[in-house]
Structures are given as structure tokens and as C-alpha cells.
Amino acid sequence: MSEREVLLDVQELSVDFRIDRKTTLRAVREVSFQVYKGETLGILGESGCGKSVTCMSILRLEPEKTTRYPSGRILFGNQDLLTLATKELGKIRGNEIGMIFQEPMTAMNPLFTIGDQMMEVLRIHHPHMEKGDAYERCIRMIENVKIPNPQRIMKSYPFSLSGGMLQRIMIGMAMLNRPKLLICDEPTTALDVTIQAQVLDLMNQLKQEQEMSIIFVTHDLGVISEMADRVMVMYGGRKCEEALATSLFQEPLHPYTPGLIRSHPQPGEKRERLEVIPGSVPALKDMPAGCPFHNRCPYASDECKETFPVYEEALPDHWVACHHWRKAASHG
């Protein structure tokens, strides 16, 4: 079997937010992962676990004045995106790496038409493209995301479209320049089930045709199980488990992961009430020492409260950071 080609290599990434002159909070702690060419990496975790901050940091989209990267490298090809000049990074944003944001209404400029904004995405990275060619590409992409009457949509303003339609426009814009990597932060939240299925099929089609890679952040385990080749689970700003999707759902090792799985409805399963993980994700200012999950974990010991566990390959291609993963797996 040939060696897989690494497209993105995130190494020991930490992200700090400066709240005021005296207060700095760490949102992401020494997170490492790779994205291979032509694969989809799913990222799971409750709100506040660091998923979106990790994804935004890949393109340095967090506010520059209040964000620091005290450790880490983000290698895309032979370039470190954390140290790349802003002008050079601008050539990658929206071109080689596309991003779909969670809130389309805040990502779109209300003063310009959909057509103006889509054409601008092409003009920035393809300044010599004929206007007619750019227009036709935009029309085809609107059709691809299953929106009728694309000519009318091109003349419309964001406020005149529904949230679901705007989300589909955002997905189309992110894919206009046929990126090598598409980062999706809860991209199907505002879509109904039918349109969601069509959009996911489109992403998979483009992934196969262009060998595009995808990072897919979502709370929807059903979407992850269908879309992802590998899954990374985050909690408290740290990566706690990573495995092939089939392995992770069949044999989760970290105590947090089966809690996530059982808290979502499973196909063909009849339960009167879904299970709930006791407690909640700690705020950044209240992040405990040791393993951040210890105050919600049924297997926690004094060791868990004092030291973060070593990240180890517990099963082939299945990594976990837990002092007691063997005990958790046996009760899974």
C-alpha cells in the first residue's frame, strides 16, 4: 500500500485569547493532526471544546490583536501558515483552502448582491478571467447547490434570501475556486434534510473529482458517520481521541466518546430518552488541571486530576489520551 500524501499537518497547535491586559485564556492546547489528500476528517465535540477555534486558526481568521499562537506549526505544502506573511496567506484563503462558516448572514456583505460577492471571490484569485466566464462559473455553482433561477439569485441581496439559501450560497462560494482543502464549520445546520443530503452529495462528488480534502466540524453524528473517513474528538481545547470513523463508532476508547454517541439517536434504535453526559464543558477561565474531562468522567482518579495523559496508539490507527481507556473500553 502506497504512503498517503499529507495535505495539511497541524503540529502542537496552541491558541490564546487576550481578554485584557492581565488576562490570557488558552482555547486550544497542543493539538496535532494531519489531513490526507482526498480524505474527510470529521471533528466532533460539544460547543466550547475548541473545534471552531482550531479550524479558524488554520487560516488565521481569529482577530489578530487579541489572538496569539504560543506554540505550533500548520504546514500546508511546504509553507507554515502561522508564520506566512499576510499577503501570501491571502493567496491561499478562498483559493487553495476554502472555508464555510457557521453563520452565513454575518459572513455575507449586506450592501452587495450575491453575484457581486461571488464574482469577487473569482476576481481576487483569477484577475485575468473573462467576466463572462466568471459569471457562467457562478451560475453553474448556484445550480450545483440546488438553488433555482440562478440568474435572479445573482441579482439578489443577502437579506432577501432565507438562511438555508444563504448557507447554500456560502457553500458554493467556498467551492468556486476548486480548493485543495475545504474547511466546513457546521455547514448544514440551517438546511432541511433533503437539501442537506444534496449538498453533502455535492461535496463528496467534488472530493472525488478533484481529490479535494475536507475538514468537517459538526454536532451531527449521522453526518459524520456518512462523510468522514477519520474522526477526531476534542474536549476542553485538547484532542482526546482519533481513529478511522468505523473504528471510532464501533469501539470508542475515551470515556467522553461513547457519551457523545449515546446522546444522539441511532438508526433503528428505540429509546424513550437519550442519555446525557453529566455536567457541562468548563469555561476557559475554569479549565481544570490534568485531564479536562475528569470532573465528568466515571473512571476519574487522582492521577487524572493532576496530569494530562500521554497520547498513545491503543489500537492500530486508533489513538487516545486517557489514563483509564482500557477500563472505559471494557465497559463501553
**List of the chain residues with pLDDT < 70:** 1-2, 190, 265-272, 331-332
Give strand ranges (E) for the chain: 6-18, 24-36, 40-44, 67-76, 79-80, 97-100, 181-185, 213-217, 230-235, 238-244, 312-315, 318-320
Cα 312–chain centre separation: 23
Domain parsing of the chain, residue ranges: 6-104+180-330
Return the pLDDT at 1.
38
Residues 163 and 136 sit within 8 Å (Cβ to Cβ): no
Residues 19 and 87 sit within 8 Å (Cβ to Cβ): no
Separation of alpha carbons 313 and 319, rounded Å:
4
What does the radius of gyration of the chain's CA atoms come to, in whole angstroms?
21
Topology adopted by domain 6-104+180-330: Rossmann fold (3.40.50)
Name the amino acid, one letter, at 89. L
Is pTM beyond 0.85 here?
Answer: yes
